[in-house]
């Protein structure tokens, strides 16, 4: 899975009013299928990291087709395990998105991410997605 930050607050002429199973979209722009996460929450008191979770609509992943020019950059999410990691979690038998409901946004993955997360005052204008 790849995670990215996308600009939000823009209309989507490709999917507004269109059922998601319809993919006859005529466009000259490259498109990406994304499953949204919630906006950044206040930083966790213990770690100082922002927390996000998969966004849903009617108990299903909230998904959309967007123009790729809305993608700002990649991002790195760390599962929030709790007191200890579930020993059943492994790459072979489970997708972390199926079990984990909360994720930390890792600002330490590279210098650009660190500066962006620590010094950008309005992080709510960016929302992680898969």
Q: With 60 as the cut, is the pLDDT of residue 126 above it?
A: no
Q: Can you read off the two tokens belonging to residue 91?
A: 């790459």
Per-residue pLDDT, 119: 62
Contact indicator for 130, 1 with CB cutoff of 8 Å: yes
Q: In the prediction, which pLDDT does 121 show?
A: 47
Q: Is the pLDDT of residue 43 over 80?
A: yes
Query: Which of these, 60, 38, 52, lies nearest to 80 by C-alpha position?
Result: 52
Does residue 24 register a pLDDT over 70?
no
Mean pLDDT for the chain overall: 75
- In order of 54, 72, 115, the CA distances from 36 in angstroms are 6, 14, 23
Question: What percentage of the chain exceeds 70 in pLDDT?
Answer: 70
Question: Among the residues of the chain, which ranges form H helices?
Answer: 96-99, 111-119
Instruction: Provide Rg for the chain, Cα atoms.
Output: 16
pLDDT band for position 93 (50/70/90)? low
* Tokens representing residue 32 in the block: 């990406």
């Amino acid at each position: 899975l790849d995670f990215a930050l996308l600009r939000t607050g823009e209309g989507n002429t490709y999917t507004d009013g269109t059922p998601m199973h319809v993919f006859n979209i005529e466009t000259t722009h490259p498109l990406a299928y994304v499953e949204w996460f919630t906006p950044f929450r206040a930083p966790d008191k213990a770690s100082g990291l922002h927390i996000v979770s998969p966004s849903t609509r009617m108990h299903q992943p909230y998904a959309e087709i967007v123009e790729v020019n809305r993608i700002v950059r990649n991002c790195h999410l760390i599962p929030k395990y709790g007191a200890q990691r579930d020993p059943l979690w492994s790459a072979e038998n489970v997708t972390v998105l199926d079990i984990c409901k909360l994720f930390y946004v890792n600002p330490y993955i590279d210098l650009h991410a660190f500066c962006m997360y620590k010094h950008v005052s309005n992080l709510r204008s960016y929302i992680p997605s898969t």
